[in-house]
Amino acid sequence: MIYGAIAAESVISWPGYMTPFSPVLTGTSGYYGSGMSIGARLQDPRDNGLSRIHGMVYAGTSVRFTLTPLDNEPHLVTLYCVDTDGNRVQSITAVDAGGNSIIPATSINGFASGRYVTFNYKGTTTITVARTTGNNTVLNGIFFDSPVIPVTGFGLAEADVSMEVGETETLTPVFAPVDASNKTVVWSSSNESVATVSDGVITAVSAGTATITGKTADGGYVKSCAVTVNLNLSINSNYKIYMTSVPQESSAEFDPVFKIKNLSAGDKTVIVIVAAYVNGKLAGINLIEDTISTEKDIPISLAKIPNAEYKFFVWDEWYVPLTERVTVGDGTFLSSFIS
């Protein structure tokens, strides 16, 4: 928001929390419009290249105005002054409704390239810009912040996320109201060995599960997202192959579940094999042949054999390996492969 300086267009816009005001000028005074030749000196460099031009109000002694916000919230105000003559010194004071100073005594000089003075205020505040030396007092713009809008609710667009090791996923915070002022979120992960999070961006580290939690800086609202990280076992780019169920050590069977995704067109036949070996000799085997259109879960089981190690692997219908042969010792149970 900018308060301009010429009577015909003295207000570019007012923030909704502010009662309109007019400055009180003392001494010989007047206005310059933004179309004056000095306008190039009055560009606001913070306008990201928009080159907005401000007008200028000048007064022989002082410029005074009173801010009367309609709410009881703290706000920022910034005064912008440009010394077009190069010899001015000005003082700036701000007092509350009781006449108490709310900022230290402030004096500005050497502001031919423009000077900003910013401070907080709350409630009715009277600001005075006064000439100390120089021809007169100048004020080129007054900037106001937006009102502080508290967070009243918080959520995440994603309730759960499934990822592969090495992937990243960005969570989408949802605030109520949508124009809340402070949208800072503090993120945390329940298991950083599986998934980390920074600024809402999840990085999948290893197979497993984790809970990602966001907590708002304003209000302390909390929302979580369940994250499942899978390790893609496929060595063929036309497939994604995950193990989605962990054989339990207490179970009488070695019984993983494979999720196989067919990324190419048309149905594909796959063969899932689990084998048990004792002292290097085959002691048991099971295989399942199935057709995959797009995606399918394939459970397979094999009775556990004492002191056996297990191998699992997947072939296509031509017995071309789709995964490496993964060897798992008795009781090891694939913890690094399974989500």
Can you give the CATH number for the domain in which 81 is found?
2.60.120.260
pLDDT tens readout for residues 21-61: 777 888 877 665 444 333 333 344 444 433 344 467 788 99
- Does residue 284 fall inside a structural domain? yes
At residue 50, the pLDDT reads 38
- Does residue 125 fall inside a structural domain? yes
At residue 146, the pLDDT reads 61
At residue 81, the pLDDT reads 87
pLDDT above 90 coverage of the chain, percent: 46
- CB-CB contact of 134 with 89 (8 Å): yes
- The residue range of the domain holding 216 is 153-230
Would you say residue 287 has pLDDT above 80? yes
CA distance 326 to 28: 90
CA distance 79 to 129: 9
- The structure's pTM equals 0.54
Domain end point (choices 111, 144, 177): 144
Using alpha carbons, select from 181, 147, 119 the residue that is nearest to residue 16: 147
Number of domains in the chain: 3
**Does residue 113 sit in the same domain as residue 17?**
yes
**Does residue 12 sit in the same domain as residue 119?**
yes
Which pLDDT band holds residue 167 (cuts at 50, 70, 90)? very high
Strand order in the sheet with 2-3: 2-3, 141-144, 75-81, 115-121
Would you say residue 272 has pLDDT above 60? yes
Would you say residue 243 has pLDDT above 50? yes
**Does residue 132 sit in the same domain as residue 45?**
yes
Using alpha carbons, select from 224, 198, 195, 197 the residue that is nearest to residue 210: 195
Domain end point (choices 202, 230, 258): 230
Token pair belonging to 117? 């003075």
Q: What are phi and psi of 8, to 5 degrees?
A: -70, -25
Would you say residue 77 has pLDDT above 50? yes
**Does residue 20 sit in the same domain as residue 116?**
yes
- Does residue 80 fall inside a structural domain? yes
Among 46-55, 177-186, 212-221, 297-306, the range scoring the smallest mean pLDDT is 46-55
**Does residue 130 sit in the same domain as residue 182?**
no
CATH code, domain with 207: 2.60.40.1080
- Does residue 160 fall inside a structural domain? yes
Domain end point (choices 230, 251, 272): 230
CATH code, domain with 318: 2.60.40.10
**Does residue 138 sit in the same domain as residue 18?**
yes
- For the chain, the average pLDDT equals 82
**Does residue 223 sit in the same domain as residue 243?**
no
pLDDT above 70 coverage of the chain, percent: 83
